[in-house]
Structures are given as structure tokens and as C-alpha cells.
Amino acid sequence: AQKVTQAQTEISVVEKEDVTLDCVYETRDTTYYLFWYKQPPSGELVFLIRRNSFDEQNEISGRYSWNFQKSTSSFNFTITASQVVDSAVYFCALSGLSNTNAGKSTFGDGTTLTVKP
């Protein structure tokens, strides 16, 4: 069984602060994908990043960065110099690579980030 835990239900920061969203996962698959999605108040799910399990290289994209630690089953997401437009619900998700699991992503409960001006 797969499980994704986002322990932080809500986070509130002031604009320009850095913020890290935690994600811990459980899976029996040896190969898998991890994702982060952003869901703004308008409701759509916006893909942010995909990381496969055999690539532990951290990634930076503008103000966003991701820290994948396979040893601790964590895939944390950091927003640097947060902006009001970053306010959204952020979901971490896990997907296996076997035919029975592929695409059947398991989502965490989400972290609601509020960035105040």
C-alpha cells in the first residue's frame, strides 16, 4: 500500500519569507514517482514537479526547490521569498511504476499555504 503524509495542514507566512512544505511517503515499490501539485483557489491542479525514485538529485526552479531524501522517504518542497500568489493548497503525490499502480497516484492531505502581504 502507498501512503503520503503531509503533516502540516496549514502554514501561514509573511511575504518574502522562505517556507518548506514537508512530505513523507511509504511504498513497497522499488521504483516510483513523486509529484508536487499546486491547487490555487480557482481549483485546478497545477503540476509543479515529478521526481523518479532513482534520481535523488535536488532540483531548483526559480523560487522553488525540492529536496528528495530516499533514506528518510521524504520529498520536501521549499518556496524561497514567498509571494501572495503562492497562496494555495499544495499536494504531494506518489505513483508506482508497475502497470497496476501507474498513474494511480496517492495524494497527501495537502498543505494550505497562506502568504500574507
Residues forming contacts to other proteins in the complex (CB under 8 A) are 33, 35, 37, 43-45, 47, 50, 91, 95-110
Count of beta carbons in the 10 Å neighbourhood of residue 12: 12
Task: Determine if residue 110 is left, alpha or beta; phi over 0 gives left, psi from -120 to 50 gives alpha, anything else beta.
Answer: left
Taking the least distance from each CB to other proteins, the nearer of 18 and 59 is: 59
Name the minimum Å distance from CB 47 to other proteins: 6
Cell numbers given for 110: 495537502
In whole angstroms, give the CA distance from residue 17 to residue 54. 31
Pairing of strands 111-116, 10-14: parallel
Given the complex with other proteins, which of 16 and 50 has the nearer CB atom? 50
As measured in angstroms, the least distance from the Cβ of 44 to other proteins is: 5
Q: Pick between residue 15 and residue 45 the one whose CB is nearest to other proteins.
A: 45
Question: Residue 98 CB, nearest distance to other proteins (Å)?
Answer: 7
Shortest reach from residue 15's CB to other proteins, in Å: 25
Please give the radius of gyration of the chain, using alpha carbons only, rounded to the nearest integer.
Answer: 14
